[in-house]
Amino acid sequence: MDEESTFEEICLHWGEEPERFLGAIVPPLFQNSLFAVPSVEARSSSRYIYTREANPTTDLLNAKMAALEGTEEARCFASGMAAISAALLSQLRGGDHVVCVKHVYYPTRLLLQEHLSRFGVEVTFVQGTHVEDFEQALRPHTRVFYLESPTSINFWLQPLEEVCALARAHGVTTIIDNTWATPLFQSPSQLGVDIVVHSASKYLGGHSDVIAGVVCTSRERIEAIHREMTLLGGILDPFAAWLILRGLRTLPTRLQQHQHNALQVAQRLSTHPAVHNVLYPGLPSHPQHELARRQMRGFSGLLSFTLKRNSREAAVAVVNALRLFRIGPSWGGYESLALPMRIEDYDGETRWGLRIHVGLEPAERLIADLEQALRVAEG
Ligand SMILES: *Cc1c(COP(=O)(O)O)cnc(C)c1O
């Protein structure tokens, strides 16, 4: 990537060549499965033959994602889970051992624990807040440390530089799910992580209208990723890639607003009488706030809080009483969302609470909505 390009420039214009396409300010969508060539001989020199292998629209997204993550290469997939499974499968064979953070995205946990175990892959889950957690779990055949920092229900971080140094010393590959922070708020490759994965269904798309995933890594490692993509076939459809490119244009602006709103909401919740604890790395009260400030540049819009009235009924009643926040899974779109959840709090106790996605509505309106809903859990 051009050293001078800012995140904003990459998201807006970088890598686009309007002069090649009649001046079209938005790069055209190549929604085609195959590419014809002028002669049989030309086939071998043409980059584009069949869209499962390569497509110009998807290539533009690959290039922008690599530039944003500061890696040499990237490949897009049909979902975050397709990206995660490609990243893992590219590194693992039967008999290998994975050390994974225990609060990892749940389908990733299932993939390791119940699916890859069928092929002889072993996994150890660790808290992951200290490098010693990984050190103690190391075995002679450990091949991968699978990281997610912060995790997306209780927002524990891993000390990435230390964990990557340990991994490198033992020939272990590090993979991180960077969905929560996005490339704008955290650059794992600069901290030593080998492979960065994203669910682009969240902030990168940003409009809750597309499912997609991305793997970003070095030129050396991309071949294995590319092979997973073309042989397992979980490619991103060009139209979905085009939608993610559109979403990226406003990513920096959206994230600033998510961050601003989430911080206001988190601060208000942390002084609310019905709230036991707020789990958000952007708050100074977060046990790893200092680490968060060191390895991240900002904080996005997903957070959790636990309730003093520690019961499922109370959490459900609060969620049902919300008006602006819709009830639903996922996050990273423009809209505010809430779900009742059992959350392992920072003292190790599991309590009932809510996971909320703070959307782009005005912060005061969101706070007012939470305050009126929390009345059902007061006293
Ligand atoms: C949603 C999510 C995924 C999976 O992404 P899909 O696009 O739904 O397959 C992976 N990791 C995290 C942290 C997520 O939130």
pLDDT digits (tens, 9 = 90+) for 214-233: 999 999 999 999 999 999 99
Mean pLDDT throughout 287-291?
98
Atom number in ligand 1 closest to CA 82: 9
Paired tokens of 126? 């660790």
Please name the residue whose Cα sits nearest to atom 6 of ligand 1: 80
Are the C-beta atoms of 155 and 296 separated by less than 8 Å? no
Distance CA 194, CA 176 (A): 8
Assign 257 a pLDDT band (cuts: 50, 70, 90). very high
pLDDT at 3 (0 to 100): 62
Per-residue pLDDT reduced to its tens digit, 133-175: 999 999 999 999 999 999 999 999 999 999 999 999 999 999 9
Assign 103 a pLDDT band (cuts: 50, 70, 90). very high
Are the C-beta atoms of 134 and 128 separated by less than 8 Å? yes
Q: Name residues whose C-beta falls within 8 Å of residue 360's C-beta, 6 or more positions apart in sequence.
A: 254, 257, 258, 261, 334, 335
Per-residue pLDDT reduced to its tens digit, 71-92: 999 999 999 999 999 999 999 9
Kindly report the CA angle at 334 between 26 and 283, in degrees rounded to 5? 125
Pairing of strands 122-126, 142-148: unpaired
Confidence check: pLDDT of 194 > 80: yes
Please name the residue whose Cα sits nearest to atom 9 of ligand 1: 80
DSSP state of 181: T
CA of 73 from ligand 1 middle (Å) equals 21
CA of 80 from ligand 1 middle (Å) equals 5
For residues 359, 360, 361 and 366, what is the CA-based torsion angle, rounded to 10 degrees? Answer: 40
For residues 312, 352, 269 and 360, what is the CA-based torsion angle, rounded to 10 degrees? Answer: -80
pLDDT at 44 (0 to 100): 86
Confidence check: pLDDT of 330 > 70: yes
End-to-end Cα distance, the chain: 56
Q: Which protein residues touch ligand 1 with a CB less than 6 Å away?
A: 79-81, 105, 152, 177, 179, 199, 201-202, 211, 213
- pTM for this model (two decimals): 0.97
pLDDT at 2 (0 to 100): 54
CA of 285 from ligand 1 middle (Å) equals 27
Confidence check: pLDDT of 45 > 90: no
What percent of the chain lies above the pLDDT cut of 70?
A: 99
Residues of the chain with CATH 3.90.1150.10: 251-377
CA of 38 from ligand 1 middle (Å) equals 42
Residues of the chain with CATH 3.40.640.10: 7-248
Q: What is the architecture of the domain spanning 251-377?
A: Alpha-Beta Complex (3.90)
Are the C-beta atoms of 216 and 195 separated by less than 8 Å? yes
Assign 289 a pLDDT band (cuts: 50, 70, 90). very high
pLDDT at 379 (0 to 100): 65
Our mutation pick for probing the ligand 1 site, out of 157, 202, 300, counting the most ligand atoms within 8 A of Cβ, is: 202
CA of 52 from ligand 1 middle (Å) equals 22
Mean pLDDT throughout 176-180?
98
Pairing of strands 97-101, 142-148: parallel
Are the C-beta atoms of 350 and 342 separated by less than 8 Å? yes
Distance CA 56, CA 38 (A): 18
Comparing 43-47, 113-117, 187-191, 326-330, the range with the smallest average pLDDT is 43-47
pLDDT at 150 (0 to 100): 98
- Kindly report whether the peptide bond that precedes residue 150 is cis, defined as omega within 30 degrees of 0: yes
Mean pLDDT throughout 8-31?
95
Distance CA 286, CA 279 (A): 7
> 7-248 — its CATH code?
3.40.640.10
Per-residue pLDDT reduced to its tens digit, 122-132: 999 999 999 99
Confidence check: pLDDT of 96 > 70: yes
Please name the residue whose Cα sits nearest to atom 5 of ligand 1: 80
Q: Name residues whose C-beta falls within 8 Å of residue 295's C-beta, 6 or more positions apart in sequence.
A: 149, 157, 159, 160, 161, 186, 191
Confidence check: pLDDT of 378 > 90: no
Q: Name residues whose C-beta falls within 8 Å of residue 155's C-beta, 6 or more positions apart in sequence.
A: 180, 279, 280, 281, 286, 303, 304
CA of 39 from ligand 1 middle (Å) equals 43
